[in-house]
Amino acid sequence: MFGSEQQAITDKINAFFSENDIPLVELKWTPVPFSGEWGVSTSFFQTAANEARSGIGRGPVPARAQEIAEQAKTWLEAHPVIGIHHLEAVKGYLNLYFSTPEYTCNVVNTVLSQGKDFGKGAPQGERVMVEFAQPNTHHSFHIGHYRNAILGESLSRLVEFAGFDTIRASYPGDIGLGVITVLWIYDKFYRGQEPADVHERGQWLLKLYVEATNLLTEKENETPQETLQRESYDAERRDMYRKWDAGDPEIRRLWEETRAWSLEELRVILAMLEIDIDVWFFESEVDEPSKTIVTELIERGIATDERPEGGAVIVKIDEKLGLKKDKYRTAVILRSDGTSLYLTKDLALAEEKFNKYHVDRSIYVVDNRQSLHFQQAFKILELWGFEQAEKCFHLAYGFVSLPEGAMSARRGRLVLFKDVADQAIQRVLDFESEKTSDLSEHQRLETASQIGLGAMAYAMLSVDNNKDIVFEMDEALSFDGHTGPYIQNAHVRAASILKKAGTRPESAAYNHRLDSHEVQLIDLISRFPDTVQQAAQEYRPLIMAAYAYDLANTFHSFYHAVPVLKTEDETVRQARLRLVMAAKQVLANALALLGITAPEVM
Ligand code: ARG
């Protein structure tokens, strides 16, 4: 049952409540599992309990709930609502049953008339900002960044589709010691040697970073000369950071030039993933405003300035909150040399998001190693009196590795997204070339890329975001099991049935006895709009990933068990064809919310 019909019934019952002076409670409907017919159910226990509590109770709660249910039943029979076949009042519940052909028709027609918009929620009147795809610059885009990007994009699509006004934001870390480290070594040893290709440039910067870290890290058994050398390198790097801070034009120019390389690679990858960022924030841009906040925090006694004693500016968060135990600990918000920290900049960023973009909720898609960081940031904002602090939410996710082992940027052991994607697409192409197909070269490439990327996306989204992922290429690309290609294949199967059928019936009656596979399919399709709402409200793309799998699985079973094209009876054939059309549409809608394309052929 969809929103509008539910509303019609709710309105009727509310009318009954006010007619009978029964205090109104918000009605909640739950679907009744199919047992020959579909229905929905609501309970009157809350209503009866409220009466009892307010002293106007009439007898024991269960008996009173049943009494109300019976009265509501009588009322609805006298004031019928279209589509309801019969009613039942049992044990304090009111059950409404629909006529099966009408209900099925309604589900299928709604899907087919709304098409891409089926499942879309009414405007919620709230604006949500989702911040994701925000890697550090002077670095390359690795598989962990990919998990972030796809999680953030799927979440954005979900909240947008659920009816929230949605802003996609990115916040690349374009300044900090890591960035300066790359700048230093480039300037010292590599000027003018950068490769031309965007992706190679990213990887090259990463190589520089590894080499620089190596030169700058103290080693065991260093000779006095080596120590001297390392210390002088470090002094150069620090000096460079100071110059950047002071706005030295030469250093700034060098910084901007190298930063542009990384941002270019980021934009190329986002385009490939069909991610369109609305607002770009940069760490370097909130650096100054964050220092103003520090001054205010000191003035108001929230932060402690220990600089006179050679220390830093700190916030003793637990102490300020009156907590006895260690929870948020003490955070440094300004170094002794006056430079800001990552945490400091997040204070200014939060303010900018709410005040400039008027968002109602702010979601940060960032890996779970930064959980304490965000708890601290949100608590300091709260101490500062920033009311919207409670509207900030850190959507954390776990680490991604390959069976070969964990990644380490410092050691240069990184699995780059572009490499994995190229490999996934190539594997699909190799596999496809073994099949005879009448696809053009262009179609073949396009499909391979849809399948390869779909496999990767689904492998990321079908795991609870808190869990780590070991990405297994063969498993992800498999056409069986919980994979992207398995779901895409259901869509392709539906497309091929429709192609073979030639015609697409404009309407159909569902007067035949429904097969249990048909029932399950109709059931799942009708649950799509609620699933969208649930996934969006809980910020959990996983809910949609699981739904897409269930729908594909149900469709595959239907395909094997129920004849469509071979059905003799023309009305049944039309009914099933329209059901296939509806299933295909909902599969596509669900995949779209996961950032996965639904191919017509594969
Ligand atoms: N650039 C950071 C990183 O790569 C992520 C930024 C997260 N967002 C934030 N508001 N702190 O670790």
CA–centroid distance, residue 157 to ligand 1 (Å):
21
- The answer to which of 359-373, 465-479, 570-584 has the lowest mean pLDDT is 465-479
CA–centroid distance, residue 142 to ligand 1 (Å):
14
Q: How many CB atoms lie within 10 A of CB 456?
A: 26
Q: What is the DSSP code (8-state) at residue 120?
A: P
Domains of the chain: 3-98 (3.30.1360.70), 418-593 (1.10.730.10)
The pLDDT value given to residue 140: 87
CA pair distance 270, 278, nearest whole angstrom: 12
The pLDDT value given to residue 21: 85
pLDDT digit string (tens) for 241-287? 999 989 999 999 999 999 999 999 999 999 999 999 999 999 999 99
Q: How many CB atoms lie within 10 A of CB 503?
A: 8
pLDDT category of residue 52 using cuts at 50, 70 and 90: confident
CA–centroid distance, residue 328 to ligand 1 (Å):
19
pLDDT category of residue 303 using cuts at 50, 70 and 90: very high
Residue nearest to atom 10 of ligand 1 (CA): 346
- Substitution candidate for ligand 1 out of 366, 372, 374, 397 with most atoms within 8 A of CB: 366
CA–centroid distance, residue 577 to ligand 1 (Å):
48
pLDDT digit string (tens) for 85-107? 999 999 999 999 999 999 999 99
CA pair distance 312, 505, nearest whole angstrom: 73
The pLDDT value given to residue 20: 85
- The answer to whether the CB of 526 falls within 8 A of the CB of 464 is no
Distances (CA, A) of 553 to 349, 385, 539, 550, 558: 44, 50, 24, 5, 9
Cα torsion 454, 460, 464, 467 to 10°: value is: 160
Ligand 1 binding site (Cβ under 6 Å of any ligand atom):
131, 134-136, 171, 173, 346, 349, 364, 366
The pLDDT value given to residue 408: 67
Taking the CA of residue 281 as reference, the ligand 1 atom at the shortest distance is 10
Taking the CA of residue 283 as reference, the ligand 1 atom at the shortest distance is 1
CA–centroid distance, residue 69 to ligand 1 (Å):
54
Q: Which residues contact 457 (CB under 8 A, 6 or more apart)?
A: 150, 154, 484, 594, 595, 596
Under DSSP, is residue 365 helix (H, G, I), strand (E, B) or coil? strand
